[in-house]
């Protein structure tokens, strides 16, 4: 059913020496960007000691909304989608996360959403209660977490504006620009952008259907504003126009 595997490593704490997770955190590709960035090298060992690395195939669950929220996750590589379901199966994707992003927000003692991989993904897993200990010991970690939550809240409000008031075309353009901005924030070029999610995932993120997504992508393609490249890459040929279209001034 899945090629999931867990590389366990707790055991005795040998600070600087051994491999704690898939790679020791000091070498972690997302070090500095995520929560861990708030920690000094020695503090990181405390973190490394309580964490596990997991490698997941595409479209595999990371956790389900209904589960006990015992774990927190940090994405090392790959893309993950967060979503909620209605009883009749309608799905709303609330966000896509990538390397260095943090997930596991809980309400009460279950998660606030379900999470599945989009691409092959590697995550670091912590036990929530261990994290709580760390928060106690390293107050600036608390601060970092709050700042990340604030950023996410602002993003959620942009998404609320998009879902409530934008047309299909505006939604699509906003989405492409979002991908571009995120890529830029991670030091990648603004274009072409990597868009590994299926039409169905995009639709469920934007509150549309796959058909509408496809039709509007075609429209943008026809107008020469974007180009679909191989390997899920999209070339944004006219970012200025995309901006205009994303806020409905056309």
Partner DNA sequence: CGAGCGATTGAACGCTCTCAAAGTGAGTGG
Partner DNA sequence: CCACTCACTTTGAGAGCGTTCAATCGCTCG
Footprint on this chain of DNA (rule: CB under 7 A): 167-169, 198-200, 207-215, 217-218, 228, 230
- Residue 84 binding target from DNA, its own copies, none, CB below 5 to 8 Å by type: its own copies
Smallest separation (angstroms) from DNA to the CB of 200: 5
At 210, is the secondary structure helix, strand, or coil?
helix
At 118, is the secondary structure helix, strand, or coil?
coil
114-117 and 80-85 strand pairing: antiparallel
- Residue 87 binding target from its own copies, DNA, none, CB below 5 to 8 Å by type: its own copies
- Per-residue burial over 15-54, b = 16 or more CB atoms within 10 Å of its CB, e = otherwise: eeeeebbbebbeebebbebbbbebbeeebbbbbbbbbbbb
- Residue 106 binding target from DNA, its own copies, none, CB below 5 to 8 Å by type: its own copies
Smallest separation (angstroms) from its own copies to the CB of 134: 13
Quote the tokens at residue 112.
Answer: 């606030």
Q: Pick between residue 53 and residue 114 the one whose CB is nearest to its own copies.
A: 114
Q: Pick between residue 75 and residue 195 the one whose CB is nearest to DNA.
A: 195
Tokens 């990371």 locate to: 62
Whole-Å CA distances, 91 to 31, 174, 204: 33, 20, 6
Quote the tokens at residue 131.
Answer: 């994290």
- Residue 150 binding target from its own copies, DNA, none, CB below 5 to 8 Å by type: its own copies
Smallest separation (angstroms) from its own copies to the CB of 11: 31
The residue ranges that bind its own copies (CB under 8 A) are 84, 86-88, 90-92, 94, 105-107, 112-113, 135, 139, 142-143, 145-146, 149-154, 156-161, 163-166, 204-207, 247-249
- Burial bucket for residue 173 (CB in 10 Å: 0-12, 13-18, 19+): buried
Q: Pick between residue 217 and residue 245 the one whose CB is nearest to DNA.
A: 217
- Residue 88 binding target from its own copies, DNA, none, CB below 5 to 8 Å by type: its own copies
């Amino acid at each position: 059913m899945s090629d999931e595997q867990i590389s366990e490593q707790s055991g005795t704490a040998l600070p600087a020496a051994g491999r704690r997770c898939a790679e020791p955190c000091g070498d972690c590709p997302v070090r500095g960007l995520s929560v861990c960035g708030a920690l000094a090298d020695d503090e990181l060992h405390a973190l490394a000691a309580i964490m596990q690395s997991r490698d997941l195939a595409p479209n595999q669950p990371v956790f389900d909304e209904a589960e006990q929220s015992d774990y927190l996750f940090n994405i090392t590589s790959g893309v993950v989608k967060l979503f909620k379901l209605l009883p009749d199966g309608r799905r709303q994707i609330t966000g896509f996360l990538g390397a260095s992003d943090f997930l596991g927000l809980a309400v009460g003692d279950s998660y606030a959403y379900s999470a599945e991989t989009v691409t092959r993904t590697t995550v670091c897993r912590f036990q929530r209660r261990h994290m709580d200990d760390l928060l106690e010991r390293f107050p600036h970690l608390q601060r970092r977490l709050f700042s990340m939550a604030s950023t996410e809240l602002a993003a959620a409000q942009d998404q609320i504006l998009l879902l409530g008031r934008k047309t299909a075309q505006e939604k699509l353009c906003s989405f492409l620009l979002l991908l571009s901005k995120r890529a830029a924030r991670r030091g990648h070029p603004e274009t072409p952008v990597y868009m590994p999610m299926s039409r169905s995932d995009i639709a469920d993120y934007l509150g549309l259907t796959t058909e509408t997504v496809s039709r509007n992508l075609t429209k943008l393609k026809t107008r020469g504003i974007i180009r679909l490249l191989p390997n899920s890459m999209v070339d944004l040929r006219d970012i200025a126009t995309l901006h205009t279209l994303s806020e409905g001034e056309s």
